[in-house]
Amino acid sequence: MDVTYKRDESAGYLTNWAGRLFVRAIERRLAGGSAGPMPVFFALADGGTMSQTALARWASVEQPTMANTLNRMERDKLIERTPDPNDRRSALIGLTRLGRQRAGEALASAQDVNALALEGFKPAERDVLFALLHRIARNLDADAQESALPALPVSKPRTSRRS
């Protein structure tokens, strides 16, 4: 049997590879910065604040991942946390002055890289790409939800199940 597993014919491989190229292209332009804070920059660039959990959801990363990113950003004086007056567990996260400056630069770099990556694309091709990626994300998200079905929490019999 012919076992030429052509990576170039695997949607997963291709997508992942392109994703890595995007990150590196951005980071080359950030001069000392990295790509992790970008979603935070984008979420807070307008001067607003959000909780850690909200940021994690916004960026589609898990909470510990966002916690790490925010810790690095705090270390680098890009964000500050102020206690949430309505929930003592939570803090509201906002950009510092430096953070807003970096956010501006990061946004510009992101636009540059997006434009560069899509160089030669017709507007229709761009739209098709986005639509196809969204469909992939929807399909894979559905699979994740399905796998996450919590083996029927049998802890205690209940008269009714939420769902």
Kindly write down the DSSP assignment for every residue of 67-104, as one continuous string: HHHHHHHHHTTSEEEEE-TT-TT-EEEEE-HHHHHHHH
**x/- string (CB under 8 A) for a second copy, residues 48-67?**
----------xxx-------
- Partner whose footprint covers residue 77, from a second copy, DNA, none (CB < 5 to 8 Å by kind): none
Binders of a second copy among 112-131, rule CB under 8 A? 113-114, 116-121, 125-126, 128-130
| Residue whose tokens read 């102020």 | 82
**x/- string (CB under 7 A) for DNA, residues 9-48?**
-------x---x---x---------xxxx-----------
Helix axes 11-30, 97-117, angle to 10 degrees: 130
**Interface pick for a second copy out of 30, 67, 91, 107 (rule CB under 8 A):** 107
Cβ neighbours, 10 Å, residue 79? 24
**Interface pick for DNA out of 42, 84, 105, 117 (rule CB under 7 A):** 84
Please measure the distance between the N-terminal and C-terminal CA atoms of the chain and give it in whole angstroms.
Answer: 48
Strand partners, 113: none
Burial of 15: CB neighbours in 10 Å, binned 0-12, 13-18, 19+ = middle
Interface residues toward a second copy, by CB under 8 A? 3, 5, 7-26, 28, 38-39, 42-43, 45-46, 58-60, 107, 110, 113-114, 116-121, 125-126, 128-130, 132-137, 139-141, 143-144, 147
Interface residues toward DNA, by CB under 7 A? 16, 20, 24, 34-37, 51-54, 59-65, 67-70, 72, 84, 87-91, 153, 155-156
